Amino acid sequence: GAGVSQSPRYKVAKRGQDVALRCDPISGHVSLFWYQQALGQGPEFLTYFQNEAQLDKSGLPSDRFFAERPEGSVSTLKIQRTQQEDSAVYLCASSPDSYGYTFGSGTRLTVV
Protein backbone atom coordinates (compact mmCIF):
# COMPACT_ATOMS: atom_id res chain seq x y z
CA GLY A 1 0.00 0.00 0.00
CA ALA A 2 0.87 3.65 -0.18
CA GLY A 3 1.33 4.12 3.53
CA VAL A 4 1.63 2.34 6.86
CA SER A 5 -1.70 0.77 7.75
CA GLN A 6 -2.74 0.00 11.32
CA SER A 7 -5.76 -1.90 12.53
CA PRO A 8 -8.01 -1.57 14.33
CA ARG A 9 -8.18 2.23 14.47
CA TYR A 10 -9.93 2.07 17.83
CA LYS A 11 -10.04 -0.69 20.40
CA VAL A 12 -11.88 -0.77 23.69
CA ALA A 13 -10.79 -3.57 26.00
CA LYS A 14 -11.96 -4.60 29.42
CA ARG A 15 -9.25 -4.66 32.04
CA GLY A 16 -7.58 -8.06 32.00
CA GLN A 17 -8.40 -8.76 28.35
CA ASP A 18 -5.68 -9.57 25.79
CA VAL A 19 -5.42 -7.39 22.68
CA ALA A 20 -3.53 -7.65 19.38
CA LEU A 21 -2.71 -4.62 17.27
CA ARG A 22 -1.67 -5.01 13.66
CA CYS A 23 0.73 -3.03 11.52
CA ASP A 24 1.14 -3.33 7.76
CA PRO A 25 4.30 -1.45 6.84
CA ILE A 26 5.12 0.04 3.46
CA SER A 27 6.08 -2.76 1.11
CA GLY A 28 9.82 -3.34 1.06
CA HIS A 29 10.55 -1.37 4.20
CA VAL A 30 13.15 -3.21 6.22
CA SER A 31 12.75 -1.42 9.52
CA LEU A 32 9.60 -1.36 11.63
CA PHE A 33 9.03 0.46 14.91
CA TRP A 34 6.34 0.57 17.57
CA TYR A 35 5.73 3.64 19.73
CA GLN A 36 3.24 4.36 22.51
CA GLN A 37 1.74 7.84 22.83
CA ALA A 38 -0.15 8.66 26.01
CA LEU A 39 -2.51 11.63 26.11
CA GLY A 40 -0.60 14.93 26.09
CA GLN A 41 2.76 13.25 25.64
CA GLY A 42 5.11 12.61 22.77
CA PRO A 43 5.50 9.13 21.31
CA GLU A 44 7.66 6.78 23.38
CA PHE A 45 9.72 4.03 21.79
CA LEU A 46 8.64 0.45 22.43
CA THR A 47 10.49 -1.83 20.03
CA TYR A 48 12.31 -2.06 16.69
CA PHE A 49 12.56 -4.74 14.02
CA GLN A 50 14.93 -5.10 11.12
CA ASN A 51 13.21 -7.59 8.85
CA GLU A 52 12.06 -10.36 11.19
CA ALA A 53 14.71 -9.72 13.81
CA GLN A 54 13.69 -7.77 16.89
CA LEU A 55 16.83 -5.72 17.47
CA ASP A 56 15.65 -3.58 20.35
CA LYS A 57 12.82 -4.18 22.78
CA SER A 58 14.12 -1.98 25.56
CA GLY A 59 11.02 0.23 25.53
CA LEU A 60 8.46 -2.48 26.21
CA PRO A 61 7.05 -1.47 29.62
CA SER A 62 6.47 -4.95 30.99
CA ASP A 63 6.46 -8.62 30.07
CA ARG A 64 2.76 -8.23 29.24
CA PHE A 65 3.86 -6.56 26.01
CA PHE A 66 5.06 -8.72 23.15
CA ALA A 67 5.76 -7.86 19.51
CA GLU A 68 6.49 -10.06 16.54
CA ARG A 69 7.19 -9.78 12.83
CA PRO A 70 7.59 -13.40 11.79
CA GLU A 71 7.97 -12.92 8.03
CA GLY A 72 9.61 -9.53 8.04
CA SER A 73 6.55 -7.64 6.87
CA VAL A 74 3.35 -7.44 8.97
CA SER A 75 3.89 -6.93 12.68
CA THR A 76 1.63 -7.54 15.66
CA LEU A 77 1.88 -5.91 19.06
CA LYS A 78 0.19 -8.00 21.71
CA ILE A 79 -0.73 -6.80 25.17
CA GLN A 80 -1.76 -9.40 27.68
CA ARG A 81 -3.99 -8.76 30.71
CA THR A 82 -4.51 -5.12 29.79
CA GLN A 83 -4.42 -2.49 32.52
CA GLN A 84 -5.84 1.04 32.54
CA GLU A 85 -2.37 2.53 32.22
CA ASP A 86 -2.04 0.77 28.84
CA SER A 87 -4.62 3.20 27.40
CA ALA A 88 -2.79 5.14 24.70
CA VAL A 89 -2.35 5.50 20.96
CA TYR A 90 -0.02 2.83 19.60
CA LEU A 91 1.90 4.05 16.57
CA CYS A 92 3.71 1.91 14.05
CA ALA A 93 6.34 3.31 11.69
CA SER A 94 8.37 1.76 8.90
CA SER A 95 11.48 2.82 7.08
CA PRO A 96 13.66 1.65 4.18
CA ASP A 97 16.66 2.60 6.29
CA SER A 98 16.99 4.04 9.76
CA TYR A 99 16.12 7.63 8.98
CA GLY A 100 13.05 8.00 6.82
CA TYR A 101 10.29 6.96 9.19
CA THR A 102 6.69 6.89 7.95
CA PHE A 103 4.13 6.58 10.71
CA GLY A 104 0.71 5.00 10.52
CA SER A 105 -2.38 6.70 11.95
CA GLY A 106 -2.20 4.61 15.09
CA THR A 107 -4.53 2.42 17.12
CA ARG A 108 -6.25 4.16 20.02
CA LEU A 109 -6.56 1.64 22.85
CA THR A 110 -8.91 2.38 25.72
CA VAL A 111 -8.92 0.00 28.67
CA VAL A 112 -12.06 0.20 30.80
**Interacting residues with another protein (CB under 8 A):** 4, 31, 33, 35, 40-45, 47-48, 55-56, 58-59, 91, 93, 98-106
CA 87 – CA 111 distance, rounded (Å): 6
- Closer of 42 and 70 to another protein (Cβ): 42
- Closer of 17 and 102 to another protein (Cβ): 102
The letter for the amino acid at 75 is S
- Least distance CB 55 / another protein (angstroms): 7
- Least distance CB 45 / another protein (angstroms): 5
Per DSSP, which regions of the chain are E strands?
5-7, 10-13, 19-24, 31-37, 44-50, 53-56, 65-68, 75-79, 88-95, 102-103, 107-111
- Closer of 41 and 62 to another protein (Cβ): 41
